Chain A
Amino acid sequence: NAGVMQNPRHLVRRRGQEARLRCSPMKGHSHVYWYRQLPEEGLKFMVYLQKENIIDESGMPKERFSAEFPKEGPSILRIQQVVRGDSAAYFCASSPPSGGPGAQHFGDGTRLSIL
């Protein structure tokens, strides 16, 4: 069973460009969570999605950030007009519909560097 797959593993962008981060959940998982980790920090919740639905985006910055989880294909975290402060590791986790606590599985993250 493949785990949560994130790509790319590393992404370099210049200020002002767009960054697209992809997350394919584990098979059978329909809930996706995105987290951001700054250096020497813990993960911070950003957004929680189910297929074709944003359930909670309270952790997302109000501007430039968006997320989607279409009926087909991976979940996408999109950052427009990136700035240096967006440099971080972005992690995706997935869980099954009936997932209780501890049911989340994490991907290995995308490390975004802004030049």
Chain B
Amino acid sequence: SQQGEEDPQALSIQEGENATMNCSYKTSINNLQWYRQNSGRGLVHLILIRSNEREKHSGRLRVTLDTSKKSSSLLITASRAADTASYFCATDYYGNNRLAFGKGNQVVVIP
């Protein structure tokens, strides 16, 4: 079964607002990762959270992980137009960095 399934979502917000997106997965994991994909480009790794961590910060990004609910959230604070992209969560479901991705969240930040 596909891991890292997030509810596909399209989010449109004003610059300066916060953007929150969610991800759920099905089996136990070692870590969960978030990626960004700009239109027509490859994926860029944003942040990784390990299964024994509950929250992690990186710049304007905040990731939470709830292993009891098998879910994660990504918060982008003070959004900018340049944050317009699709955001994917992924788990190392198959091992050895063979990632299983969700369907993505499309975020549009309006200047």
1/0 per residue B79-110: CB within 8 Å of A?
A: 00000000010101010111111111000000
1/0 per residue A94-114: CB within 8 Å of B?
A: 010001011111111100000
A63 sits at the interface (CB 8 A): no
- Describe B's contact surface by its main secondary structure: loop
Evaluate contact between B97 and A107: CB separation under 8 angstroms.
no
Which of A102, A105, A106, A109 contacts B48 (CB under 8 A)?
A: A102
The tally of residues in A whose CB lies under 8 Å from a CB in B reads 27
* Distance in angstroms between the alpha carbons of A76 and B92 in the assembled complex: 24
B50-65 CB contacts (< 8 Å) to partner A: none
A14 sits at the interface (CB 8 A): no
Q: Which residues of B contact A (CB under 8 A)?
A: 2, 4, 8, 30-31, 33, 40-45, 48, 88, 90, 92, 94, 96-104
